[in-house]
Amino acid sequence: MQKDVSHIRSFVIRQTRMSEYQRRSFETLYQGYSLLCDDEKSTRKQILSAFPGCDRLVAEIGFGMGEATLELAEKFPETAFLGIEVHKPGIGKLLGELASRSITNVRVIREDAMVVFERMLAPAVLDGVHVFFPDPWPKKRHHKRRLVRHGFTAMVGRALRPGAYAYLTTDVRDYAEHMLEVIGTDDEFFENPSGGFCEPLSWRPRTAFERKGLARSHEIFEIFLKRR
Ligand SMILES: C[S@@+](CC[C@H](N)C(=O)[O-])C[C@H]1O[C@@H](n2cnc3c(N)ncnc32)[C@H](O)[C@@H]1O
């Protein structure tokens, strides 16, 4: 029987110093760019109404410093991006960039993604979800903290519309294999068209965390799934 680890957080709030730019951006911009609250599950229609001109909705879990988010938002102006992150300096950085580049198709939620998916999103609201390089938690005793765990696929799967996608990447082989195993046991929600790992999709930007892995010659693993 699987041990219930659903209450264990996949992050620790680090007391990283914020730059003046990040702090100011967070304080002045968060209110205007944030979305969703947990007293009612938001429907697709409600969320998309905050993004005039957008007809697709994609969530990104753990955007870090937000480089990939920015690049995708500029590349796909008709897609609404919901960035979920708990790390304040990264949120401040992304908010500052959104404002200075006048990007209007991104909203940010400072919350545990588990809480967002369980309490804030109605079923079948998303066209896609990105999980780019989640914290690897390499030590065996910390594996229970990994974001992609039993229960994750059902949680994410419920929020995706039929035909939507989930795109996961990591540079840690045993985490990548664990992802495939978790997804394989939950095939009520997802099919894996490539049957295993796939080639990177041409539109996926390289992320900050990925660059660090590549500098250490890490292999990158990509998983692209379709919601049944
Ligand atoms: C290893 S970093 C990768 C950041 C970025 N995606 C990249 O590739 O550069 C993982 C990020 O996920 C965030 N994170 C971890 N668990 C989370 C959760 N449950 N909800 C929201 N963000 C989370 C962390 O704060 C961290 O910034």
So what's the pLDDT on residue 185?
75
Tell me whether residue 164 is in a domain.
yes
For residue 108, which amino acid is it?
Answer: V
So what's the pLDDT on residue 128?
98
Task: To the nearest 10°, report the CA torsion of 97, 101, 104, 105.
Answer: -70
**Distance between CA atoms of residues 155 and 123, nearest Å:** 10
Tokens, residue 31: 């209110």
Dihedral over Cα of 224, 109, 70, 21: its sign: negative
Q: What CATH code is carried by the domain that includes residue 161?
A: 3.40.50.150
Identify the domain containing residue 170 by its residue range. 124-228
From 8, 88, 111, 133, the mutation candidate for ligand 1 (largest count of ligand atoms within 8 A of CB) is 133
So what's the pLDDT on residue 5?
67
Compute the chain's Rg from CA coordinates. Answer: 17
Residues 222, 129 share a domain: yes
Residues 164, 88 share a domain: no
Q: What separation in Å is there between the alpha carbon of 125 and the centre of ligand 1?
A: 22
So what's the pLDDT on residue 147?
96
Q: What separation in Å is there between the alpha carbon of 206 and the centre of ligand 1?
A: 15
Tell me whether residue 62 is in a domain.
no
Tell me whether residue 158 is in a domain.
yes
Residue bearing the CA closest to ligand 1, atom 11: 62
Q: Name the domain count of the chain.
A: 2
How many CA within 13 A on the CB side of residue 77? 7
Tell me whether residue 37 is in a domain.
yes
**Distance between CA atoms of residues 80 and 47, nearest Å:** 9
Contacts for 199-206: CB closer than 8 Å, 24+ residues apart:
200/169, 201/167, 203/72, 203/75, 203/76, 204/68, 204/132, 204/167, 204/169, 205/67, 205/68, 205/71, 205/72, 206/68
Q: What separation in Å is there between the alpha carbon of 63 and the centre of ligand 1?
A: 6
So what's the pLDDT on residue 58?
98
For residue 45, which amino acid is it?
Answer: K
pLDDT, tens digit (0-9, with 9 covering 90-100), for 113-157: 999 999 999 999 999 999 999 999 999 999 999 999 988 999 999
So what's the pLDDT on residue 10?
86
Residues with catalytic function? 135
Phi, psi of 20 (to 5 degrees): -60, -40
pLDDT tens, per residue, the chain with 228 residues? 556 667 889 888 777 789 999 999 999 999 999 987 777 899 999 999 999 999 999 999 999 999 999 999 999 999 999 999 999 999 999 999 999 999 999 999 999 999 999 999 999 999 999 999 999 999 999 999 999 998 899 999 999 999 999 999 999 999 999 999 998 776 789 999 999 999 999 999 999 999 999 999 999 999 999 999
- pTM (predicted TM-score): 0.96
Contact predicate 176/197, CB 8 Å: yes
Residues 156, 215 share a domain: yes
Tell me whether residue 87 is in a domain.
yes
Q: From 68, 87, 122, give the residue that closes a domain.
A: 122
Residues 181, 223 share a domain: yes
